[in-house]
């Protein structure tokens, strides 16, 4: 088969299959994924224990995880409410000291004769380091204490706002968007064995030095009683630790012990599972731990295909064509499962040696037992 005549762009193709897990769904209803392609999980919590107490106990993480518009609204309200609160205190101090009625008395705060002027004084106290028309005097100790508290409160609010803004801008999920997985996984023959392969690449120029790849097979199961349970099973990956300077292929060999060992191209579409893959790494620019993850359903696995070659060796550089990152091409692959393919394969030298090992061990044990018996006979003869 001419490989150049069967090139498939899987980036814009979406296939939905009806399998065992889809029993009871409508004809046009899509299968619910355990994890979406962007790494998020479609899970909604109802009546969680503690509710708001958990979010208030870790308020910093709660504010970092909020959306930008909600966080900016909270920060604006924190400043405005603090200005209103302290302006009310300055107004009460002026009212008790009778600065509002008698303009001839020495005021606690100069030129604060109304609530509006008290609000302007509160805002200038918290937003600036100096005073102009309205200024604190030494006539009221209570007003001096309130100014001191407001100055400390201003430092605290500024620290929280700056810290959360920086943490939100350097959020690990932003860096994770520049590390991507291929839109599909493929099954083809490698070194005489069927392998499941998917791609990963770093799209930034300051590449990741090293990371760890992981894959889990997640199966949501619905019992006859109506209870839903989720099982997790790790997949063995060849070359788990990667240097992601160029796009890399992550390979899982379909061998005995693999949960996909007995699945063929026909039975694969009848299965209901999510292959959750992740890549954990440390950013070389920030030193922050990141993780990129996605999932593949049986509809996202292409049997008998391989990824297009996208790395070329130049005279001074390695050239990477990311336009081919999601493209696959057809290759000759057995249309049976790895288990069925191994049954029809003639025994290899390695399997013959392994099958002869029990016989060799038993013959050695028999010779040792004969030696022990002969030694006992010699001892009895000597006695």
Show which of 146, 171, 196 is a domain's final residue: 171
If asked whether residues 200 and 137 sit together in one domain, one would say no
If asked whether residues 166 and 195 sit together in one domain, one would say no
Burial of 191 (0-12, 13-18, 19+ CB in 10 A): exposed
Residues of the domain holding 256 = 176-340
Show which of 171, 198, 221 is a domain's final residue: 171
If asked whether residues 133 and 244 sit together in one domain, one would say no
In a domain, 188, yes or no: yes
Tokens of 355: 């099958």
Residues of the chain with pLDDT under 50: 1-5, 10-29, 347-363, 365-367, 369-371, 373-383
If asked whether residues 201 and 160 sit together in one domain, one would say no
Spatial CA neighbour of 244 closest among 186, 288, 178, 187: 178
If asked whether residues 283 and 187 sit together in one domain, one would say yes
If asked whether residues 325 and 200 sit together in one domain, one would say yes
Q: What is the pLDDT of residues 113-169, one digit of tens each?
A: 889 989 988 988 888 765 677 888 888 899 899 999 998 999 999 998 888 888 887
Q: What is the pLDDT of residues 209-236, one digit of tens each?
A: 678 999 999 988 878 887 888 889 999 9
If asked whether residues 74 and 196 sit together in one domain, one would say no
Q: How many domains in the chain?
A: 2
CATH code of residue 136: 1.10.287.70
Predicted pLDDT at 129: 60
Spatial CA neighbour of 117 closest among 95, 96, 144: 95
If asked whether residues 196 and 330 sit together in one domain, one would say yes
If asked whether residues 222 and 127 sit together in one domain, one would say no
Show which of 123, 148, 171 is a domain's final residue: 171
Query: Which are the contacts of 236, defined by CB distance < 8 A and separation ≥ 6?
Result: 252, 253, 257, 258
In a domain, 34, yes or no: no
CA-CA-CA-CA torsion sign (109, 110, 112, 113): positive
pTM recorded for the entire structure: 0.63
């Amino acid at each position: 088969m001419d490989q150049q005549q069967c090139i498939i762009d899987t980036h814009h193709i979406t296939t939905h299959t009806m399998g065992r897990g889809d029993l009871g769904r409508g004809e046009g209803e899509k299968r619910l994924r355990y994890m979406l392609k962007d790494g998020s999980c479609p899970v909604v919590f109802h009546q969680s224990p503690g509710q708001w107490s958990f979010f208030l106990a870790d308020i910093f993480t709660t504010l970092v995880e909020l959306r930008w518009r909600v966080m900016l609204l909270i920060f604006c309200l924190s400043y405005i409410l603090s200005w209103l609160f302290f302006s009310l205190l300055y107004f009460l101090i002026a009212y008790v000291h009778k600065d509002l009625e008698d303009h001839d008395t020495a005021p606690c705060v100069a030129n604060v004769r109304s609530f509006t002027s008290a609000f302007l004084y509160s805002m200038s106290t918290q937003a600036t380091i100096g005073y102009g028309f309205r200024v604190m005097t030494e006539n009221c100790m209570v007003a001096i204490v309130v100014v001191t508290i407001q100055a400390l409160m201003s430092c605290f609010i500024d620290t929280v706002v700056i810290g959360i803004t920086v943490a939100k801008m350097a959020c690990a999920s932003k860096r994770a968007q520049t590390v991507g997985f291929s839109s599909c996984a493929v099954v083809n023959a490698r070194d005489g064995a069927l392998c499941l392969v998917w791609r990963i690449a770093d799209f930034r120029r300051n590449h990741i030095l090293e990371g760890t790849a992981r894959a889990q097979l997640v199966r949501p199961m619905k019992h006859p009683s109506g209870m839903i349970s989720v099982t997790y099973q790790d997949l063995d990956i060849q070359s788990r630790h990667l240097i992601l300077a160029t796009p890399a292929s992550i390979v899982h060999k379909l061998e005995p012990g693999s949960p996909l060992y007995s699945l063929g191209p026909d039975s694969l579409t009848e299965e209901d599972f999510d292959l959750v893959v992740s890549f954990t790494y440390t950013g070389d620019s920030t030193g922050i731990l990141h993780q990129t993850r996605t999932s593949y359903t049986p509809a996202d696995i292409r049997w008998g295909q391989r990824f297009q070659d996208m790395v070329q060796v130049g005279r001074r550089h390695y050239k990477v064509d990311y336009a081919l990152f999601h493209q696959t091409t057809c290759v000759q692959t057995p249309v049976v499962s790895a288990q069925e393919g191994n049954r029809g394969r003639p025994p290899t030298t390695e399997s013959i040696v392994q099958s002869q090992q029990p016989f060799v061990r038993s013959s050695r044990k028999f010779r040792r037992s004969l030696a022990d018996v002969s030694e006992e006979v010699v001892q009895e003869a000597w006695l």
